[in-house]
Amino acid sequence: KAGVTQTPRYLIKTRGQQVTLSCSPISGHRSVSWYQQTPGQGLQFLFEYFSETQRNKGNFPGRFSGRQFSNSRSEMNVSTLELGDSALYLCASSFERVTEQFFGPGTRLTVL
């Protein structure tokens, strides 16, 4: 069974631009969560989607948004990029809520 896939793996953007990251969960998994990883703040929860509905949201500004499609694939969007948004963005999927989560390789976003 294929693991969690994330595209693209690397992105370079400039301040003020917006970006969309994609995540395909493990087949059959219905929950997708997103995390941001930075050297300064560590791993922080962004949001969780289950059955196309956002179920939980972390403490991030409204510039960070996401959605989930009927096939459980998820996208997250960051608008008006800031230098501080440079990070590794990790997607995780699980079969149900409150079950073990499996992480993808991440998307490395660099904002110049």
Partner 1 sequence: AQSVTQPDIHITVSEGASLELRCNYSYGATPYLFWYVQSPGQGLQLLLKYFSGDTLVQGIKGFEAEFKRSQSSFNLRKPSVHWSDAAEYFCAVGAGVTGGGNKLTFGTGTQLKVEL
Q: Which residues bind partner 1 (CB under 8 A)?
A: 4, 31, 33, 35, 42-45, 48, 50, 55-56, 58, 90, 92, 94, 97-106
Nearest distance from C-beta of residue 18 to partner 1, angstroms: 24
Min separation Cβ 108 and partner 1, Å: 8
Least distance (Å) between residue 82 CB and partner 1: 23
Residue placing its CB nearer to partner 1 in the complex, 15 or 55: 55
Q: Computed over its alpha carbons, how large is the radius of gyration of the chain?
A: 13
Nearer Cβ to partner 1 (65/103): 103
Q: Is 85 in a helix, a strand, or coil?
A: helix
Please report the beta strands in the chain, taking only residues with DSSP state E, as ranges in sequence order.
Answer: 5-7, 10-13, 19-24, 31-38, 42-50, 53-57, 64-68, 74-78, 87-94, 102-103, 107-111
| Phi, psi dihedral angles at 27 (to 5 degrees) | -55, 130
Looking at the Cβ atoms of 36 and 111, the one nearer to partner 1 is: 36
